[in-house]
């Protein structure tokens, strides 16, 4: 890893049990208190285990919880924007004991040593989703999810028994489920020292493709890194999105300069803070440049247009290390006959081709392709097949 960016905190964490220890851990779990994880917590276990959440080795204690909310740093000084907690019901465990963590589908996922139990200040955690308290209208999906979590948090290191708890599920993608150690090895093999990454939870349309290719011009390679963990209802299923990514890369990207891998994280819809988290995670995967679009990880109208980009200007660059690539909104210009942004071409009324998500869904459900200037026809056909089959 000598030629690549260092992991956040300096060391790539690995909390996945060695194969020769798995049987003993499974046997131990039979006599331990059972903790049933939520989908978000299950995603967090995988992210901690594979080192994507380095330097975390387990779920946060209260000191880190408070520091993250108040200062956006861990107690050791490393930047960290969002609490990673195991909230549960009172009386589930005792300090000092080991507990068995089970995924929502009933699979034993990990064993945790409970080092601390503390009250879950859900109201305090919910503040991370808003610029000011009066913005909390009871409708934000991330904040409301936190408010419904358990009243106490268990903290301590974990030992992961099962990394992918549903290997046959539609979001497993085992051949594209590369860990940070594996992406780093792949980048080393290809001789990449600088790597840009594109985060997405949607199919890639022409504007996103433009951003990716701009990034490719300034780095050795590109990691297309879709999020396939828990998302909100209405998002296009991960298996459909993966077919779109694979087709787009095959037809429109240079294969030896592009890597496709999935990130098994849950969306929190925390806007600017989540943009930081996504950047730090990509740093752990070996990425040096992270594409930050407008309203990254946003939902509704809770965040300003450039909040997710501007927040990076408030951080310690020496600790952040990864370079945010701040892009303007892009679209196809009929006059320029190509993709443009506010930085590259004057705005002319009626010139740019832009479609709302509602309009795109209407076209797809009718079996009609959106304009080729908005999305590649090969991608549109995959989405039409999905949209018409779900009517």
Residues forming the active site:
201-202
Strands 116-119 and 108-113: unpaired
Q: Do residues 373 and 379 lie in contact, with contact meaning Cβ atoms separated by under 8 Å? A: no
Question: Could you write out the DSSP letters of every residue in 91-103?
Answer: TS--TT-EEEEE-
Q: Rounded to whole angstroms, what are the CA distances from 6 to 3, 10, 264, 275?
A: 9, 6, 21, 19
Q: CA nearest 265: which of 256, 273, 257, 274?
A: 274
Cα–Cα distance, 72 to 81 (Å, whole number): 4
C-alpha span between 23 and 157 (Å, rounded) = 19
Cα 193 to Cα 347: distance, rounded to the nearest angstrom: 37
Q: Yes or no: say if 140 and 269 are a contact pair by the CB < 8 Å rule.
A: yes
Distance, in Å, from the CA atom of 365 to the CA atom of 373, rounded to the nearest integer, reads: 19
- 84 with 93: CB under 8 angstroms? no
| Torsion of the alpha carbons at 340, 283, 57 and 145, rounded to the nearest 10 | -10
Decide if 331 contacts 299 (C-beta within 8 A).
Answer: no
| Strand ordering across the sheet containing 195-200 | 258-260, 221-226, 195-200, 289-292, 323-326
How large is the C-alpha radius of gyration of the chain?
A: 21
* CB atoms closer than 10 angstroms to residue 70: 10
Terminal-to-terminal C-alpha distance of the chain: 49
């Amino acid at each position: 890893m000598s030629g690549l960016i260092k992991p956040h905190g300096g060391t790539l964490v690995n909390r996945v049990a060695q194969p020769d220890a798995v049987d003993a851990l499974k046997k131990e779990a039979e006599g331990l208190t059972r903790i049933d994880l939520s989908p978000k917590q299950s995603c967090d276990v995988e992210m901690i285990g594979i080192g994507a959440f380095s330097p975390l080795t387990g779920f946060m204690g209260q000191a880190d919880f408070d520091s993250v909310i108040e200062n956006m740093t861990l107690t050791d000084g490393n930047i960290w924007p969002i609490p990673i907690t195991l909230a549960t019901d009172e009386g589930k465990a005792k300090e000092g004991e080991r507990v068995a963590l089970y995924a929502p589908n009933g699979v034993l996922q990990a064993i945790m040593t409970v080092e601390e139990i503390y009250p879950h200040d859900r109201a305090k955690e919910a503040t991370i989703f808003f610029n000011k308290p009066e913005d909390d209208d009871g409708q934000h999906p991330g904040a409301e999810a936190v408010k419904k979590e358990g009243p106490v948090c268990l903290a301590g290191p974990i030992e992961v028994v099962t990394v992918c708890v549903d290997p046959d599920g539609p979001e497993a993608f085992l051949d594209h489920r590369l860990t940070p150690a594996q992406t780093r090895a792949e980048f080393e093999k290809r001789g990449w020292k600088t790597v840009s990454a594109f985060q997405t939870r949607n199919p890639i349309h022409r504007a996103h493709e433009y951003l990716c290719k701009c990034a490719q011009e300034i780095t050795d390679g590109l990691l297309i890194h879709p999020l396939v963990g828990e998302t909100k209802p209405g998002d296009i299923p991960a298996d459909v999105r993966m077919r779109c990514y694979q087709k787009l890369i095959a037809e429109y990207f240079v294969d030896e300069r592009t890597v496709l891998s999935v990130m098994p994280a849950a969306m929190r819809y925390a806007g600017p803070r989540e943009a930081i988290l996504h950047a730090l995670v990509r740093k752990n995967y070996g990425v040096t440049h992270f594409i930050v679009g407008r309203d990254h990880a946003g939902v509704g109208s809770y965040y300003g247009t450039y909040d997710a980009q501007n927040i990076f200007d408030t951080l310690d660059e020496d600790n952040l290390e990864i370079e945010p690539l701040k892009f303007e909104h892009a679209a196809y210009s009929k006059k320029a006959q190509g993709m443009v942004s506010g930085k590259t071409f004057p705005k002319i009324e009626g010139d740019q081709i832009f479609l709302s998500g509602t309009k795109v869904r209407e076209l797809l459900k009718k079996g009609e392709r959106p304009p080729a200037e908005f999305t590649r026809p090969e991608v549109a056909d995959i989405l039409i097949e999905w949209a018409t089959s779900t009517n």
